[in-house]
Each structure stands twice: as C-alpha cells, then as structure tokens.
Amino acid sequence: MGTSIPQGSFVQHIVWGSLELHHYLDALAVVRATAPDQPAILNRPHAAARAARFFVEKFPGRTLYAVKANPSPNLIRLLWDAGVTHYDVASIGETRLVRRLLPEATLCFMHPVKAPAAIVEAYRDHGVRTFSLDSIEELDKIRAATTEANGGVEPTDLILCVRLRVSSEFSELSLASKFGCDLADARDLLQAARQLADSLGICFHVGSQAMTPFAYVTALEKVRAAIVDAAVTVDIIDVGGGFPSIYPGMEPPPLEDFFALIDRTYESLPVSYSAELWCEPGRALSAEYNSIIVRVERRRGNELYINDGAYGALFDAAHVGWRFPVQVLRSAPTAAETAAFSFYGPTCDDMDHMAGPFELPADIAAGDYIEIGMLGAYGAAMKTAFNGFEANEVYQVADEPMASLYRGVHRDPRVSDNVVSLR
C-alpha cells in the first residue's frame, strides 16, 4: 500500500522525502494493486533526471532549478544527483528546505521583494550571497540586512541581480506586471547596485511556458539597451525561467532552438570577458516528474465529479484553463469512441471546476480511474487542505510521462487530442 500523508506545506513535503515509496510499472498497476480512495501522486524520477541532464549538458551556461515549481525533497535530491548544483529560492522556507537537503548547493535568493529577516538568515546561516532586486529600496534593504548579518561590516562578496521588466507576450502565463525595473529606471539602479556588488547580474522572466525562443531574444535586446545606457560592467546574464513543457494544444519548438538563440544573442552582448550565462527553469525540469490518479465519484451528463481539483493539483486547469493530458485506467480495452468532458473537484466551491475539454471514453462512469499527466510543475506543489481534501498517496512508477520534450522517439501515439503528438 501507499502512504497517506497530508499535503500543503514544506514540513509535509519533508515527510514525503523520507518515505520509501512503493514502486509500480505504471498508473494502471497502481490502480490494480491499491484501488486508491484518494488521489494518488505518481513520481517519475527517470523523467526529471533526464530533463536535468539535458539542461546541464546542453544549456550554454549554468542551470538553477526554480524550487517553487515543485519543492518535493525527492525531486530536489535527484536534480542534484543529475548535476544541478544551483537553486533559485524565493522565500526563507525554500532556503531552509534546500539547505537542509543539500548542504553544498549554491542557493540564490531570486525574489525581488524580501523580508529583512529573511535576508539576514539567508546570508548568515545558509551561505546565500546571490540576491535579486528591482528597486533602490530593495538595494538599501539588502545592504542593511547583509551588513547586520556580516557583524556590522558591509559585505564585499555579494552577487546582485537587477531584475528587468520584460514582455510576457510570448508566454502562456504572464509575469510582467508584478516585478521588474523599467528600462527607464535601470540605469540608476544598475549603477547603484554596481557600487555594492562584487558581481553584478541582470535577470528577467519572460513569463511561464514561453512558446517561442524569440521571447528570450526580445528580452536580451532590452538587457543590451540597459547595459549600454548604464555603462556598467555586467558579470551575469540570467535569462530566468519560462522554458516550456508540452501539453495538449501547446507544443513548443525543441529546447535546443531556445538554447541556440539565447547563446547567440548572449554572445553579442557587451558584458565582461568572464561573464556567465544563467537560467532558472522550474516548469521544464519538473513538469514530467508527476502525474496523478483521480477517481470519478459521480457523472452528471458530460461533467465528471473527480476527487482532486482546483485546490488540489489542478489549480492551473481551473484558473487558467490549462488542458492536461488524460487517460482512463481500465484493465480491459475501451471502446474507441470518446466524448468531451469537464471536471468538478471535490470541494463544495463552484470555482472548483476544470473546463477542459478532456477527451475520455463516452461510457466513463463513477468508479473509473483517470490518470492526469504533466502535473510535476505547479501541480503537486499547489495542493491545499481546503475542505478536508488533503490526503493522497504517493507512488513511484517506471513508465514514460504522457508527453516529453526530452525523448527523441514517439511512444504509443494515441488518436485522441488529449495526447500531444511528438516530433
């Protein structure tokens, strides 16, 4: 049997990390063996390790894992084992978590608005030297907090990354309005940060699930303008996250195309001869790590009431209409005919609704199990305990994720448009 564990906090994720998970071939084997009453999370370590090795080997610079996409300790450890040495943390909770798991990892605190006490603890207790910022106020805060953490002496070992606001027009999820310094203000901020920093970087985020490499080219041209205008020496260019995964209706070009265009544009920037190129993928490293098994508890027309939803692993399916790949889990083959379904989650809230459409066998009924794929990024990590629907089981499976950006070959291409076709 699997292990029932409440979800929704780092502490509980740490509990996960210490568990010996039961191994199965695939989702159907889990259903046959356990007929789970609660949603089951499936881990695919081989898929996450493959993604990590891909970035480590092919990205033309350094890869930082953006921990918020999925802070599962098992995942963080396996990324380390696959060669990812740097981690983008955004809170003191993430900082403590990764430091506890990986004493030798380099942690970069890349949230541009931090609590002073978080900066002090990160610098003093966890060896964090890299901080991002997008305002003079944050620069002053970092100066004061790290001076305090350094025993009253202003530190000389800071790596400061100025976050530039760039367009999210090429991405599915915008990150353009909350953070980032406008180009017009970048000169003053870069010059002021240069005074305090041992190494100065410029970072940005093009938005999540960027569907074309030109998102990065456009952003890097803005970086070029900022460097020229400020006339400062820049040591790090950090192109952030946004690298896509693959979902029904969202098939991005190969990641090699992203890397090639980023490399070419970066090489033409006026940066110091020893400058470094960084990236901070979250989604691209974690999406293939998890799927979930849900059970249909009721059918009403073409609406299926399932036991996970908007307050569970399906936040993006509910709130941004994301269509995840689905397949029914039955021992006997199903009649080929399919129909379009929407999902309701288990809570009593009307907003716990996933419009889909999700293509499933037309005869699907209460008691059927469904696997929902590609939930490793911002899926498993988002579960809450709302309405008492917090428990789930966790298993390890050995089969391939429903789609992959890292597999050169096709597997079992299905007719349904639930499943993305692979090059």
Contact positions toward ligand PLP, by CB under 6 A? 66, 68-69, 88, 110, 205, 208, 240-243, 280-284, 377
Q: Shortest distance, CB of residue 312 to ligand PLP, whole angstroms? A: 19
Report in angstroms how near the CB of residue 209 gets to ligand PLP at its nearest.
Answer: 7
Q: Backbone phi, then psi, for 169, in 5-degree steps?
A: -65, -20
Q: Considering the complex, state which of residue 39 and residue 244 has its C-beta at the smaller distance from ligand PLP.
A: 244
User: Going by C-beta distance under 8 Å and a sequence separation of 6 or more, which residues neighbour residue 172?
Assistant: 207, 208, 209, 211, 250, 320, 322
Nearer to ligand PLP, 252 or 346 (CB): 252
- Quote the least distance from Cβ 224 to ligand PLP, whole Å: 21
* CA distances, 372 to each of 15, 302, 418, 419 (Å): 24, 17, 10, 11
For residue 306, the cross-strand partners are: 296
Nearer to ligand PLP, 280 or 390 (CB): 280
Residue pointed to by tokens 């090489």: 267
> How many Å separate Cα 418 from the centre of its chain?
22
For residues 173 and 217, which CB has a smaller minimum distance to ligand PLP in the complex?
173
Among residues 29 and 250, whose Cβ is nearest to ligand PLP? 250
Mark 43-62 as b/e (b = at least 16 C-beta within 10 Å): bbbbbbbbbbebbeeebebb
**In this complex, which beta carbon is closest to ligand PLP, that of residue 88 or of residue 235?**
88
Q: What is the DSSP string of 234-281?
A: --EEE--S-----BTTB-PPPHHHHHHHHHHHHHTS---TT-EEEE--
Smallest separation, CB 154 to ligand PLP (Å): 26
CB of 206 to ligand PLP, least distance (A): 8
* Amino acid at site 161: C
Helix (H) or strand (E) holding 64: strand 62-66
Shortest Cβ distance from residue 318 to ligand PLP (Å)? 18
Q: Which is nearer to ligand PLP, 98 or 377 (CB)?
A: 377
Q: Which residue is nearest to ligand PLP (CB)?
A: 241
Cis peptide before 357 (omega within 30 of 0): yes
In whole angstroms, the minimum distance from the beta carbon of 121 to ligand PLP comes to 20
The secondary structure of residue 5, as a DSSP letter, is E
| Beta-ladder partners of 70 | none
